[in-house]
Every structure is written in C-alpha cells, then in structure tokens.
Amino acid sequence: MNTENTQSNQTSAMKRVTILGATGSVGQNTLDLIRRNSAAYQIASLTGNQNITQLAKDAIEFKADFVATADDKRYEDLKAALAGTGIDCGAGRTAIIEAASRNADICMAAIVGVAGLEPTLKALETTPVIGLANKECLVTAGSLFMTKAREHGAHIIPVDSEHSGAFQCLLAECPNNIKAVTLTASGGPFRSHSLKELGQVTKQQALKHPNWEMGSKITIDSATLMNKGLELIEASHLFHLKAEQVNMLIHPQSVVHCLVSCKDGSTLAQLSAPDMRVPISYSLAWPERMQTPIEPIDLAKIAHLTFEPGDEVRFPCLRLAREVLESHNIAGPVLNAANEVAVEAFLNDHCTFMAIPDIIDAALDKLSGIGSNHDPQDLNAVLHLDQQARYLAFDLLKLTA
Ligand code: NDP
C-alpha cells in the first residue's frame, strides 16, 4: 500500500475550518469538536480579540495557517507567543478580514456583536459553508447578507440552537407547507420575577443562565429576552418568513428548540440536550452528522416539558424586537447597536437591568424614520446607522446614570 498517497488523500478530504471568534464560547466549543474529530477537520485561520494566550495556544495545538487579533495593541504579544512556530499572524480590522478571506471549506462566524458583520460578509465571497452563530449579521443587515450569500452560492447553516432545529425540520419541506416557526426560550434567570423584582436584579444574577454556558453579552440578552427578539428577526431572514410567521414560546427545560407548524396541522420539532456542541456539530458536518459526546435525550427521565407565552410587559426587549421585525427591519442596526451599548453599560455597572430596554426604546424612538423603507442595502449604510445609534445610546446613558 502506498502510505504517502493514502495520507495525502486523507489530508485533501479533510475540511479546512476558519473560526472567527475562536476564543469565545462558540469558538471553544467548535475547537472541542474538531479536537475530537481531528481526522476530518483541520484549522485554516483563527481569530480573537483580547485573549491572546488562548488564541496562540489553540493556533499552536491546531497548527493554524493564519491567526489574527482584532486588537492592534496586542500584535506584539501575539507575535511573541507564536515565535518559532512558523504560524503567520496579524492584527487589527484588516487582519480579521484577511482571516475571513483565506481559503477554507467552512467558516464558523462566532464573533460577538456587529463587529462580526464585515468579516462574515467577506467570508461569504470565498467560503462555501458558513456556520452562522453571529445573529447580529442578520439583525443589522439581513437582506444584504442573504442576497450576498445567494450571489456567491454560500450555504448558511445556522448555529443558534433554535435555528439549527428549524433548519433541520425544514429540510424536507416545501416552503408553501409552512404556517409558522416557533422558537423556544428558556426564559432566563428571571422568568418568574415580578416587574418590581426585575428593577433590583444584579449583574451577577443576570450572568447565571439556568441552562446554557455562553459569553456574557448573549447571557445578558437571554436574561432580558432580547436574545429571543434578535432571533425572531434572524429567523425571518434565514427562512424567508413574514413577521406573523415567527413566534416564540418560553420552555424552561431547553429541550425542544424549535417547532415548525405545517398547513396540514402537523407540527415538527427538534429536540436535544442544551449543549451548543449539538448545533455546532451539525453546521460543521452538514449535510452529514458527526459523532459527539452528547447523549440523545431521555424523555422518560425528563418527564415534564412545559411551555408558556413570553411576557412583553416584564420583558420589553421582546416587544421592541418584534416591533422592529414588523417594521420590516429598517431599524435593525439601531436596535442592535443600542442594545450592545446598554448591555455593556450594565456589565460595567453604569446602568440598571431595566434601563436596558429604556435606552433601546429611546434610541428607536429618536432614530425611527431615518433611512429608507427597506433595511440598509450596503455595509456603509449599516455601519452609519450603527454609529448614530451608539452615540445616541451613550448620550442617553449619561441621562440615566
Ligand atoms: P463570546 O463573548 O464568548 O466570544 C466572542 C468572540 O468574539 C471572542 O473570540 C472575542 O475575542 C471575539 N471578539 C470580541 N470583540 C471582537 C471584535 N471587536 N472584533 C473581533 N472579534 C471580537 O461570545 P459567544 O461565543 O457567546 O457568542 C458569539 C456569537 O454567537 C454571538 O453573536 C452570539 O449571539 C452567538 N451565539 C452564541 C451562543 C453561545 O452558546 N455562546 C449560542 C448561539 C449564538 P476575545 O475573547 O479574544 O476577546
């Protein structure tokens, strides 16, 4: 047997994966799966921001071709950490764009916030499969993003567990058969809190999600239910659904991720343990599935699955996101930017939990009516709206502080 040939065949059959946001929660779960399936995947590029130690450690372990930090000031640290390894590295916005543009079979888009938009748009040009964790891409620039994906023939495989569930339920369905898609939400740590109690919650309490281990921004978004609001907008773009076809339900056990209702009265559901490695593995292996360490759920053991409607009075972020969805997403960049600023302020003890929806509401109110009747059609227009909303949210924060 010619072992040299066999080895090179194996290498060429391996999928090359770029991870944007490799040092974060989704990024680390992706690397965990690749470590367990090292015969099938190899790393092309990795990116991070502040966590240079983790970024360099992973780059060395996975023999990355290229590594980038978004933070210019950390370039020397990254270079020093990679010295002698032969791994190419860069820093700043252009280096992140370079990582997104380099040859890969799959790009895991897992940068947090609107910072992920430009590199993910770039990845659409060269990478056939995008594992889309960064929902902000679709909230801020849904039409632009989906149009560009179509133009370049890129497959978008959602990584959010609810959207991964919907994607799987919809695989064999003709779009005309679909009445509605319902995303579930755990309800977060304050599901049963009264309005008065919500006024007193702390950052430490908000960061304790009952079911999921995630980065701090999405964990706060889960506590305010803004995460579900952003996901309703995300689903409308991903699956070409009208606002009235996208719903949400509180489901505290986080076992059923999505329900798809069909015109014949059938409802399809996707179930799995609340572990992000299930939807991440699906986006890496699509259209196949990969072996993961997660056991299929045992319904007899779980025994009770409960559902209840979302409360837009106690959780106004849900109402605000739905209003943006119903306005055909014109205000998506404003909703997202004001939320990013307000969540950051809450994490830095500059505002209360209930000031988050107040700031977003005020920003939407002030900036509504700007722009056209459609969501922004180019990146500059999105980033311009994003910037305006940020300035305004900072001003509003000074007023609420
Ligand atoms: P984390 O906060 O854990 O990680 C964010 C990643 O983005 C890190 O690698 C971070 O680098 C990097 N980053 C931060 N700021 C910038 C920037 N300005 N430019 C470039 N890179 C930057 O987030 P999560 O992994 O939790 O979430 C990532 C995305 O996936 C979000 O959009 C989230 O909504 C979505 N998502 C997450 C889920 C989860 O389970 N965590 C579930 C479903 C969706 P560093 O750490 O080095 O500073």
Please give the share of the chain, as a percent, with pLDDT higher than 70.
94
Tokens of 172: 């064999």
Examine the domain organization and report whether 148 and 176 are in the same domain. no
- Give pLDDT, residue 213: 86
Average pLDDT over residues 211-223: 94
Average pLDDT over residues 11-18: 86
**Structural contact between residues 343 and 360, judged by C-beta atoms closer than 8 angstroms:** no
With 50 as the cut, is the pLDDT of residue 6 above it? Answer: no
Q: Is the CB of 111 under 6 A from ligand 1?
A: yes
Examine the domain organization and report whether 336 and 350 are in the same domain. yes
Given 131, 159, 187, which residue is the final one in a domain?
159
Q: If you take atom 42 of ligand 1, which residue's CA is the nearest one?
A: 160
Q: What is the dihedral of CA 167, 170, 171, 172, to 10 degrees?
A: 170
Average pLDDT over residues 88-115: 98
Mutation probe of ligand 1 site: the residue of 72, 112, 336 with most atoms within 8 A of C-beta? 112
- Give pLDDT, residue 373: 57
With 90 as the cut, is the pLDDT of residue 253 above it? Answer: yes
Q: Is the CB of 279 under 6 A from ligand 1?
A: no
Q: Is the CB of 23 under 6 A from ligand 1?
A: yes
Average pLDDT over residues 92-110: 98
Q: Is the CB of 274 under 6 A from ligand 1?
A: no
H/E element, 204:
helix 203-206
Work out the number of other CB atoms within 10 angstroms of the CB of residue 317: 24
**Structural contact between residues 15 and 106, judged by C-beta atoms closer than 8 angstroms:** yes
Q: Is the CB of 67 under 6 A from ligand 1?
A: no
CATH of the domain at 60: 3.40.50.720
Q: Cα(215) to centroid of ligand 1, in Å?
A: 6
- Give pLDDT, residue 1: 37
Q: Is the CB of 29 under 6 A from ligand 1?
A: no
Quote the number of domains for the chain: 2
DSSP output for 293-329: SPPPP-HHHH-----B---TTT-HHHHHHHHHHHTTT
In a domain, 1, yes or no: no
Examine the domain organization and report whether 93 and 198 are in the same domain. no
- Give the confidence band of 7 by pLDDT, cuts at 50, 70, 90: very low
With 50 as the cut, is the pLDDT of residue 229 above it? Answer: yes
Average pLDDT over residues 320-345: 93
- Give the confidence band of 370 by pLDDT, cuts at 50, 70, 90: low
Examine the domain organization and report whether 322 and 246 are in the same domain. yes
Task: Kindly give the number of the ligand 1 atom that is closest to the alpha carbon of 54.
Answer: 47
Examine the domain organization and report whether 104 and 185 are in the same domain. no
In a domain, 281, yes or no: no
Tokens of 368: 């509504």
Examine the domain organization and report whether 151 and 186 are in the same domain. no
Given 159, 185, 200, which residue is the final one in a domain?
159
- Give the confidence band of 191 by pLDDT, cuts at 50, 70, 90: very high
In a domain, 8, yes or no: no
Examine the domain organization and report whether 174 and 155 are in the same domain. no
Q: If you take atom 41 of ligand 1, which residue's CA is the nearest one?
A: 214
- Give pLDDT, residue 45: 98
- Give pLDDT, residue 346: 97
Q: If you take atom 7 of ligand 1, which residue's CA is the nearest one?
A: 111
Residue corresponding to tokens 């910072």? 115
Examine the domain organization and report whether 54 and 151 are in the same domain. yes
Examine the domain organization and report whether 20 and 151 are in the same domain. yes
Q: Is the CB of 212 under 6 A from ligand 1?
A: yes
Average pLDDT over residues 180-186: 98
In a domain, 247, yes or no: yes
Examine the domain organization and report whether 243 and 108 are in the same domain. no
Burial (CB count within 10 angstroms: exposed 0-12, middle 13-18, buried 19+), residue 341:
buried
Q: Is the CB of 112 under 6 A from ligand 1?
A: yes
Work out the number of other CB atoms within 10 angstroms of the CB of residue 282: 25
Question: What does the DSSP 8-state code read for residue 308?
Answer: B
Examine the domain organization and report whether 148 and 192 are in the same domain. no
- Give pLDDT, residue 372: 52
- Give pLDDT, residue 2: 41
Nearest Cα neighbor of 353 from 209, 252, 211, 223 is 223
Mutation probe of ligand 1 site: the residue of 75, 114, 218 with most atoms within 8 A of C-beta? 218
- Give pLDDT, residue 3: 39
Q: Is the CB of 139 under 6 A from ligand 1?
A: no
Q: Is the CB of 50 under 6 A from ligand 1?
A: yes
In a domain, 180, yes or no: yes
Question: Using CA atoms, how far apart are residues 185 and 381, in angstroms rounded to an integer?
Answer: 32
Q: Cα(302) to centroid of ligand 1, in Å?
A: 31
Q: Cα(128) to centroid of ligand 1, in Å?
A: 22
β strands within 11-97, DSSP E: 15-20, 41-48, 66-69, 88-91
Reported as a single tens digit per residue, the pLDDT across 117-171 is 999 999 999 999 999 999 999 999 999 999 999 999 999 999 999 999 999 999 9
Reported as a single tens digit per residue, the pLDDT across 375-389 is 777 999 999 999 999
Query: What is the pLDDT of the chain when averaged over all its residues?
Result: 94
In a domain, 4, yes or no: no
CATH of the domain at 199: 1.10.1740.10
Average pLDDT over residues 222-237: 98
Domain that holds residue 237: 164-274+299-400
Average pLDDT over residues 391-396: 95
Examine the domain organization and report whether 265 and 304 are in the same domain. yes
Given 100, 129, 159, which residue is the final one in a domain?
159
> 3-class DSSP state for residue 211?
coil
Q: Is the CB of 99 under 6 A from ligand 1?
A: no
